[in-house]
Amino acid sequence: MTEGMSRALRASRRGRGHVSPNPMVGAAWTDGARWITRHFSRFGGAHAEARLFPLLPDAPSGELFLTLEPCTVFGKTPPCIDLLLARPPARVVIAVPDPDPRVSGGGIRKLKEAGIPVVVGERAADVVANDLPFFSAHLRGRPWVEVKLGSSIDGRVATSGGESRWITGPSARKDVHRRRSTADAVVVGAGTALKDDPELTVRHVKGPEPSKIVIDSGFRTSPEAAVWKAWNGVYGPGSSPEPALERRGNHAKVGTVWTRRPRLVLVSTEGGDRARRRAFEELGWEVWSLPGADDHGGLGGRHVSMEAFLARALAEGFHHLFVEPGPSLAGALLQGGWVDALTLYMAAKVIGGSHSWSGGYEAATLADAFQFQTVDVQTLDQDVLVRLRRPGVIEEFLSCLPGSSRRSES
């Protein structure tokens, strides 16, 4: 069984960056002599099973491997469970139940009721690790927050004079662009937008563009900043003759077709300058006016509530936020306990001084320090990439899935 689920898992990864806020799903079928695999390839398109079954024999028999249980509801496409019930395989191996409450084990139950042998749990941890944002959205009710940072080996992001470009080298910067393309949205704070005036685009690699979000409580960002110019040239108001009827994450429904259309968002506090808000909206920015929080994370003053921001991002269909913060925003995220993953690029340099990437965050004791577990370490020319994530999160998600004895506690 391991080979079959390995094939399905590899297939699912081809949908990364293209299917969210839906899950990545892979399907593999074998009759013992040949293999056929397919994956869910784009939001609004046919699911993995629907792409696979037309390629199978009229009486498929054989074994079917699915990374996620077949859906049972009619969403943008018909439910996949009908395909399996009409042309049942000899056995169905499913990695994990669907955490979506509309399905929530229903597909597995229908297969068993039809007398089809079902095995659940094959490589479950690997499948959850492959799509943590999807499971975070459905099991915790908030997006997966990945914080990306570039620093010296002593954790500094700038010299005392403010010089920060470039601490890391070209290979590290190329890898950042690759990781941007896998996220739903790239997020920066007003300080980064003002100081660096970034485009936040995907360059140097092939991959889809994510949406861009600037958190700016006081509308300090220029409406015509570089991020707007880069977005407007491709996705601005004049890019499509038809308005979007519906939006979900990076996708817009135009007529009856879902098309990829990344968004440009400015997040501000409620009651901000109305004239400034109009200036942004007239150029195509979406403006989210959200509740504020006082001195959150040592920022001082009143700023956008991170809790309110994450709730709004989830409601809009952004499950994976790739945050490229300055020290102030990084400190606020750490202080609030919102960081799920840390992608840290470290240059082989010692800068010294006080410009730490963690900003105003400070643990009172070692026991209170924000803990991570190491996922991966790579060398990128002279730089080192360290990928970390919140400890125990995969086990937490597995315990909350349909059928788990601990689900009622979650």
d(CA 66, CA 258): 25
- Does 63 participate in catalysis according to the annotation? no
> Rounded to an integer, what distance in angstroms lies between the CA atom of residue 52 and that of residue 47?
9
Report d(CA 150, CA 345) in Å as an integer.
5
Partnered with residue 342 across adjacent β-strands are 147, 388
Tokens of 63: 């074994």
Q: C-alpha 152: how far from its chain's center? A: 26
> Nearest 10 degrees: CA dihedral of 67, 70, 74, 77?
50
Active-site pick, 49, 63, 69, 146: 49
For the packed helices 393-400 and 132-139, what is the interaxial angle rounded to 10 degrees?
50
In angstroms, the CA 244 to CA 255 distance is 8
DSSP letter string over 140-163?
A: TSS-EEEEEEEEETTSBSS-TT--
> How many angstroms separate the CA atoms of 403 and 251, rounded?
32
Residues 361 and 342: beta-carbon distance below 8 Å: no
User: How is 360-375 classified by DSSP, letter by letter?
Assistant: T---SSGGGSPP-EEE
DSSP 3-state of 311: helix
Where are the extended beta strands (E) located within 297-382? 302-304, 320-323, 341-347, 373-380
Q: What amino acid is encoded at 97 in this protein?
A: P
Q: Which residues are catalytic?
A: 49
